[in-house]
Amino acid sequence: MDVGATEKSLEMMRKFSEQYARGSGTYFCMDKSVTAVVIQGLAEHKDELGSPLCPCRHYDDKEAEVAQGFWNCPCVPMRERKECHCMLFLTYVLFCFVLFCFVLFFALARIRREVALGDETRLTTLLFLYRLRRDDNDFAGDEQTISMDELVELTEDM
């Protein structure tokens, strides 16, 4: 295997990424090669520095950055605001909010029996919500998993 990181670190960072995506309610990029390259970068830093320093930034002194901890994955922006500039973890925050409002609206309407919407209206609303979900982050896919085979294949020529 020639992917610039040891298999042990690759597997460790692959598992970490899957678990963290599930735990944080985020998704991998629809282009899995982005996911694979970032995981590879994290694994290389894990081998080189002993810590998964964010691979998408330039550092004058990597050891000092590791000691500081801000950009060790998951970095502070990710932990505090779910912001991953590497596009490893992507969110659907707006979608969840609108979906919550949608469910609340229909629940209240049903309780009060004041609103009777037809199937067509419901379908239009759902399509609108689906579009919002995509617009929230155009790059977010639907998956929170990546296999070791995918990881190796997608980073083979890099």
Burial of 97-129, coded b for 16+ CB within 10 Å and e otherwise, reads: ebeeeeeeeeeeeeeeeeeeeeeeeeeeeeeee
Q: Is 71 in the site for ligand SF4 (CB under 6 A)?
A: yes
Of 95, 85, 88, 86, residue with least CA distance to 134: 95
Among 15, 22, 81, 85, binds ligand SF4 (CB under 6 A): 85
54 touches ligand SF4 (CB under 6 A): yes
- 158 contacts: CB under 8 Å, gap ≥ 6: 3, 4, 37, 40
Q: Compute the least distance from the CB of residue 104 to ligand SF4, in Å.
A: 31
User: Which of the ranges 6-14, 62-70, 77-85, 135-143 carries the binding residues for ligand SF4, by CB under 6 A?
Assistant: 77-85
CA-nearest of 149, 135, 137, 150 to 32 is 150
Our finding on whether 151 is near ligand SF4 (CB under 6 A) is no
84 is catalytic: no
3-state class (DSSP) for residue 29? strand
Task: Tell me if 38 contacts ligand SF4 by CB under 6 A.
Answer: yes
Q: Is residue 13 part of the contact set for ligand SF4 (CB under 6 A)?
A: no
Question: Residues with catalytic annotation?
Answer: 56
Contact residues for ligand SF4, defined by CB under 6 A: 38, 54, 56, 71, 73-75, 78, 84-86, 88-89
